[in-house]
């Protein structure tokens, strides 16, 4: 009998715990974010005082991969535990707006998950009112974290904040933490919204010393001792210091570890790190493609396939729609209208996967020209990742 394929593997892995390098893992410690943690505690701890009646609204902004999401999740977890210890009826709710893209779907998700209210058939306003009633009845406070908030409009975010006006007791029961990349925050911000934000945490990219501390911690969680030599580790730090992005380092650790296992090397060499580096796109959340709808995946694939052609830098709506139709037929999917296709393009743009610009044609010619390009990810990688999900 041939040996079990799972038993054959495994013993020679470089990983002590590979799971700790996956995007869904939230580390227990967050080195180099002490100041930000203190600032959040300062803002939120008033919610643990029984007599406190105001809601708190905070924004967390900054470049990609610098711990905004991780900091938020850790804070929510600790806040909830502290509330239990202090006998305060407080709950937390984390939403990634890449997955729940509209105000309506977020409100429905809170209604079903928290209160088992089926949201269908109710308007947003009616549902918010029902939620407010339940919070009031149960004398509860809720801290809602809206991650990737730029998927919503400033008006949508205000609708959540304004829910506090529905409480007859006058207690602001719904607090918010609004998280987004800094460039997108300025687009979201209106005078109305900024007037409601009590504090904004502007996180900066990590310095190379900070990355060293962070990635030493992550390396020791994930790998057996002596898998990565000091020289090789320095190389990883040097690479991600250029982007100041911790995700960059974490992904290189994971990819080069997998490569070391694949070749049965037992150690991570500089060569493997250099190979891993070319496969990592630190601005792109790795799980972003999991959140795409089928039509959006096909739209992304059609653009990726077109831009794979040598020398091709951009495409147009009409051209990519033709490919979209072909791929839909190939995959036996219903061929959507060009209007639906344009909606898919808008979503892909808002998610930062493609860039879609429209410019007027030169004088004399009629109409406008649309130009679709990819942001910072090569067409080959886009095609591979989308095909994986499809
Ligand atoms: N201080 C830190 N200590 C340990 N790990 C960290 C730290 N900061 C970031 N990381 C890790 O780096 C990765 C990226 O962090 P995170 O997802 O929180 O970034 P982000 O700022 O939300 O990025 P984005 O804008 O792309 O959503 C995660 O794997 C996270 O665990
Ligand atoms: Mg994030």
Instruction: State the CATH number of the domain containing residue 368.
Output: 1.10.10.10
Residue 73: predicted pLDDT: 96
The arithmetic mean of pLDDT across residues 255-276, rounded, is 95
Structural domain includes residue 138: yes
Asked whether residue 183 falls in the same domain as residue 45, the answer is: yes
pLDDT at residue 176, rounded to an integer: 97
pLDDT confidence of residue 192: 85
The mean per-residue pLDDT over the stretch 276-303 comes to 88
Shared-domain flag, residues 170 and 59: yes
Pocket test for ligand 1, best of 247, 375, 377 (most atoms within 8 A of CB): 247
* Average pLDDT over every residue of 326-337: 93
Tell me if 110 CB under 6 Å of ligand 1: no
Do 251 and 167 fall into the same domain?
no
- The rounded Å distance from CA 38 to ligand 1 centre is 18
- Give the atom of ligand 1 at the shortest distance from the alpha carbon of 217: 4
What's the pLDDT score for residue 1? 62
Residue 62 has pLDDT above 80, yes or no: yes
Q: What is the chain's alpha carbon radius of gyration, rounded to the nearest angstrom?
A: 24
- The answer to whether residues 182 and 43 belong to one domain is yes
* Cβ–ligand 1 contact at 259 (below 6 Å): no
Predicted confidence at residue 97, as pLDDT, reads 93
| More reliable by pLDDT, 90 or 12 | 90
Residue 29 lies in a domain: no
Q: Which atom of ligand 1 is nearest to the CA of 67?
A: 18
In the chain, what percentage of residues exceed pLDDT 90? 69
CATH of residue 218:
1.10.8.60
Task: Say what the pLDDT of residue 324 is.
Answer: 97
pLDDT digits (tens, 9 = 90+) for 199-221: 999 999 999 999 999 999 999 99
pLDDT computed for residue 118 by the predictor: 87
Q: What's the pLDDT band for 385 if we cut at 50, 70, 90?
A: confident
Contact yes or no for 44/143 (Cβ under 8 A) = yes
Q: Give the model's pLDDT for residue 380.
A: 87
Residue 137 belongs to domain spanning = 34-202
Does 249 lie in the same domain as 135? no
**pLDDT score of 252:** 97
Question: Which CATH number covers residue 136?
Answer: 3.40.50.300
pLDDT level of residue 71 (50, 70, 90 thresholds):
very high
* Cβ–ligand 1 contact at 27 (below 6 Å): yes
- Identify whether residues 194 and 270 lie together within a single domain: no
Q: How confident is the model at residue 257 (pLDDT cuts 50, 70, 90)?
A: very high
Give the pLDDT mean for 114-140. Answer: 91
Q: Are residues 320 and 382 in the same domain?
A: yes
Q: Does residue 216 line the site of ligand 1, with CB under 6 A?
A: no
CA of 64 to the centre of ligand 2 (A): 7
Q: Which of 174, 202, 230 is the last residue of a domain?
A: 202
Closest CA to 77 of 161, 157, 143, 172: 143
pLDDT value of position 368: 64
Do 325 and 375 share a structural domain?
yes
pLDDT in tens, 342-380: 999 999 988 888 988 877 666 666 556 788 988 778 888
Highest mean pLDDT among 159-173, 314-328, 375-389: 314-328
Cα 354 to ligand 2 centroid, rounded to whole Å: 19
User: What pLDDT does residue 205 have?
Assistant: 95
Indicate if 246 and 106 belong to the same structural domain.
no
Cα gap 220→31, rounded to integer Å: 14
Task: Please identify, among 224, 245, 277, the residue that sits at the C-terminal boundary of a domain.
Answer: 277
Point out the ligand 1 atom lying closest to the alpha carbon of residue 33: 1
Residue 28 lies in a domain: no
Residues 41, 179 within the same domain: yes
Distance CA 23, CA 206 (A): 18
Considering its fold, how many domains does the chain have in total?
Answer: 3
Higher pLDDT, 45 or 100: 45
236 inside domain = yes
Q: Does any domain span residue 370?
A: yes
Is 51 a residue whose pLDDT tops 80?
yes
Which residues are found with C-beta within 5 Å of the ion, ligand 2? 68-69
Pocket test for ligand 1, best of 17, 60, 68, 70 (most atoms within 8 A of CB): 70
Residue after which a domain boundary falls, among 277, 309, 338: 277
DSSP readout, 76-121? HHHHHHHHHHTT--EEEEEEETTTS-SHHHHHHHHHHHHH----TT
Assess whether the C-beta atom of 285 lies below 6 angstroms from ligand 1: yes
Does ligand 1 come within 6 angstroms of the Cβ of 65? yes
Q: Which residue from 65, 177, 218, 236 has its CB within 8 A of the most atoms of ligand 1, so it is best to mutate? A: 65
Output the pLDDT for position 298.
96
Q: Using one digit for the tens of pLDDT, what is the confidence trace for 2-43?
A: 667 666 555 689 999 999 999 889 999 999 999 999 999 999
CA distance 321 to 328: 10
Helix (H) or strand (E) holding 265: none
Answer whether 137's CB lies under 8 Å from 130's CB.
no
In a domain, residue 283? The reply is no
> Is the residue at 347 inside a domain?
yes
- Residue 27 in domain: no
Residues 6+ apart with CB under 8 A from 319: 306
Q: Are residues 212 and 93 in the same domain?
A: no
Q: Cα dihedral sign for 148, 220, 208, 37?
A: positive
Domain check: are 228 and 151 in the same one? no
Q: Which ligand is nearest to the CA of 66?
A: 1
Atom 18 in ligand 1: residue holding the nearest Cα: 67
CB distance 282 to ligand 1 below 6 Å: no
Mean pLDDT of the chain: 90
């Amino acid at each position: 009998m041939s040996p079990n394929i799972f038993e054959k593997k495994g013993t020679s892995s470089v990983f002590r715990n590979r799971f700790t390098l996956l995007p869904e893992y939230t580390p227990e410690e967050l080195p180099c974010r002490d100041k930000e943690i203190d600032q959040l505690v300062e803002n939120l701890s008033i919610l643990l005082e029984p007599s406190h009646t105001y809601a708190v609204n905070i924004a967390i902004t900054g470049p990609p991969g610098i711990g905004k999401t991780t900091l938020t999740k850790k804070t929510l977890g600790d806040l909830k535990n502290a509330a239990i210890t202090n006998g305060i009826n407080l709950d937390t709710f984390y939403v990634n707006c890449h997955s729940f893209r509209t105000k309506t779907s977020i409100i429905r998700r809170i209604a079903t998950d928290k209160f088992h209210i089926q949201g269908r058939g109710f308007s947003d306003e009616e549902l918010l009112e029902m939620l407010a009633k339940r919070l009031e009845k149960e004398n509860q406070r809720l801290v809602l974290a809206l991650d990737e908030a730029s998927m919503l409009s400033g008006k949508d975010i205000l609708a959540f904040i304004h829910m506090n006006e529905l409480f007859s007791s006058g207690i602001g029961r719904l607090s918010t933490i609004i998280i987004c990349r800094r460039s997108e925050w300025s687009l979201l911000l209106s005078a109305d919204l900024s007037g409601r934000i009590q504090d904004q945490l502007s996180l900066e990219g990590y310095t190379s010393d900070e990355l060293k501390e962070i990635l030493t911690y992550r390396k020791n969680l994930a790998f057996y001792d002596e898998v990565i030599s000091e020289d090789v580790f320095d190389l990883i730090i040097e690479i991600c210091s250029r982007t100041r992005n911790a995700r960059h380092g974490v992904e290189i650790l994971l990819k080069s570890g997998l490569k070391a296992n694949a070749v049965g090397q037992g150690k991570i060499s500089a060569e493997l790190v250099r190979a891993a580096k070319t496969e990592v796109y630190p601005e792109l959340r790795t799980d972003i493609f999991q959140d795409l709808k089928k039509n959006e995946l096909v739209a992304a694939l059609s653009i990726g396939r077109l831009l794979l052609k040598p020398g091709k830098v951009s495409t147009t709506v009409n051209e990519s729609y033709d490919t979209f139709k072909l791929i839909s037929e190939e995959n036996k999917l219903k061929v959507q209208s060009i209007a639906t296709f344009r909606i898919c393009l808008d979503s892909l743009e808002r998610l930062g996967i493609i860039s879609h610009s429209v410019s007027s044609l030169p004088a004399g010619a009629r109409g406008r020209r649309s130009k679709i390009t990819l942001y910072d990810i090569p067409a080959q990688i886009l095609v591979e990742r989308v095909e994986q999900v499809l």
